[in-house]
A and B are shown apart, each in its own frame.
Chain A
């Protein structure tokens, strides 16, 4: 499973993929997925809700534990992947593709300044 070009990752293991026109696709990284194991449940925010950078926007649960999801950047939720509610295994099986959680319109792309490019992120977590 490889991250598409342009994928940025946070220290809390969310990924952000720019889609153009200030739309960004957000999910959790393959590293996070591997740590979690089988994912069985996802809680998504409401459409049109707004969050600050670092705010909890949802939950992802594996068999063993619940984990909160943190906004990599402040913005408004403009699309939800509701398929995840019935098929959370998409997160395990197609992490960067069909396993996306939300799409957001960012308030300020500078919020992503600290996010790492995927290769840097992998190096960072291996330390």
Chain B
């Protein structure tokens, strides 16, 4: 392993659990423990624990923090109330996506608005440069504080997640609702507890100081035993998110794709008055269909679509697969990819995937591929 790779505070826990480690985004991470299919099933049926400490955490606060964030993401941050979260993209002037992230509004800091940004491990450097560049240009009264090096993130996902948090002492009606966050204590460890995740299941992402990560991990593994908890690696994290049709930055979108092209138009408000990077381009794409769009598809012929395989329609090269693989839950093979919008992008449209010089049929499909069960976490 490259000596320049970082290790999270949970490295020893992974080794003790028999993890197979792999280098990812400059970090030595567990790709699997008991096996990808076994881990995937455990999250869908019970509960799984993920070390996602490689991700980045940036605090943005101060008098102009709302104005600042309004400028760097299309989403309407002024509408974000304390304790709530929103899925966003950092966009460029040409509408291209720098990263996707979740922005949480925390309790005010010294009576001023305060936010947490959780960003992709592979983009921490780029995001910080971009935020600082924008801050310098806008000259606002805002603090941008990258705490990634001091914080660990543990994700708990699966239908029994809420039950486990209750076993640890936070009753169901005291737990944050879906896409909400609260500061709390899990058996004497201070945490930020967020009802978010990357699997399509109900679950939590728990932010904790590095020094307390191992204590928290072991607490969850211990208390979760009776619920069938297992540690889950990056391999199953990927198969789970693909079933939920959640995008992976760098594969399903990048600086050359706008949110509309990446089929994230649902996250873009049409009535936000404030200007933001790429606003004109992004809004124009609602009126004038972009030339390419991300679609989801399910294989009809027996074959597995994978990243970078070419898509053909009517015998012509029409696009590329961005993510693809097996869906253990559906026992089918699924994928995401961009196609030229001169072709139909509606569910049911037939496309073909070139795999080792042969074409295999697939059908454009509704997303998510597997229905999301986190809806249970929304209080009526």
Interface residues of A (CB under 8 A from B): 37-38, 40-41, 59, 61, 63-66, 85
Q: Is B162 an interface residue when CB atoms closer than 8 A count as contact?
A: no
Instruction: Report Cα–Cα, A41/B303, bound state, in Å.
Output: 8
Q: Is the beta-carbon distance between A38 and B306 smaller than 8 angstroms?
A: no
Q: Is the beta-carbon distance between A38 and B356 smaller than 8 angstroms?
A: no
A37 smallest CB distance to B (angstroms): 6
Contacting residues of chain B (32-86) with chain A, CB-CB under 8 angstroms: 32, 35-38
In this complex, what residue of A is CB-closest to B22? A64
In this complex, what residue of A is CB-closest to B239? A63
Instruction: Report Cα–Cα, A41/B302, bound state, in Å.
Output: 9
Residues of B within 8 A of A40 (CB): 37, 304, 326
The dominant DSSP class at the A interface is mixed
Instruction: Report Cα–Cα, A112/B351, bound state, in Å.
Output: 43
Closest 5 CB pairs of A and B: A63-B36, A38-B37, A40-B326, A38-B35, A38-B36
Known pairs A63-B235, A63-B239, A63-B326; A37 contacts B304 (CB<8 A): no
Instruction: Report Cα–Cα, A40/B283, bound state, in Å.
Output: 42
Q: Is the beta-carbon distance between B304 and A41 smaller than 8 angstroms?
A: yes
A93 smallest CB distance to B (angstroms): 11
Residues of B within 8 A of A85 (CB): 302
In this complex, what residue of B is CB-closest to A38? B37
Instruction: Report Cα–Cα, A64/B22, bound state, in Å.
Output: 13
Q: Is B176 an interface residue when CB atoms closer than 8 A count as contact?
A: no
Interface residues of B (CB under 8 A from A): 20, 32, 35-38, 235, 239, 302-304, 306, 325-326, 356
Residues of B within 8 A of A64 (CB): 36, 235, 325
In this complex, what residue of B is CB-closest to A59? B356
Q: Is the beta-carbon distance between A61 and B304 smaller than 8 angstroms?
A: yes
In this complex, what residue of A is CB-closest to B309? A66
B125 smallest CB distance to A (angstroms): 26
In this complex, what residue of B is CB-closest to A40? B326
Identify A37's interface contact among B32, B302, B306, B325, CB under 8 A: B32
B35 smallest CB distance to A (angstroms): 5
A/B interface sample: 6 pairs, CB < 8 A: A37-B20, A37-B235, A38-B38, A61-B304, A63-B235, A64-B325
In this complex, what residue of B is CB-closest to A63? B36
Q: Is the beta-carbon distance between A37 and B326 smaller than 8 angstroms?
A: no
Instruction: Report Cα–Cα, A85/B302, bound state, in Å.
Output: 10
Known pairs A61-B304, A64-B235; A41 contacts B326 (CB<8 A): yes
Instruction: Report Cα–Cα, A64/B235, bound state, in Å.
Output: 8
Residues of B within 8 A of A59 (CB): 356
Among A41, A59, A64, A66, chain B packs the most CB atoms within 10 A around the CB of A64
> Apart from A66-B356, A85-B302, what are 6 other A-B pairs with CB-CB below 8 Å?
A40-B326, A63-B37, A64-B36, A64-B325, A66-B304, A66-B306
Instruction: Report Cα–Cα, A37/B32, bound state, in Å.
Output: 9
Instruction: Report Cα–Cα, A40/B235, bound state, in Å.
Output: 14
A41 smallest CB distance to B (angstroms): 5
Residues of B within 8 A of A63 (CB): 36-37, 235, 239, 325-326
Instruction: Report Cα–Cα, A31/B267, bound state, in Å.
Output: 46
Q: Is the beta-carbon distance between A37 and B356 smaller than 8 angstroms?
A: no
Among B35, B239, B302, B304, chain A packs the most CB atoms within 10 A around the CB of B304
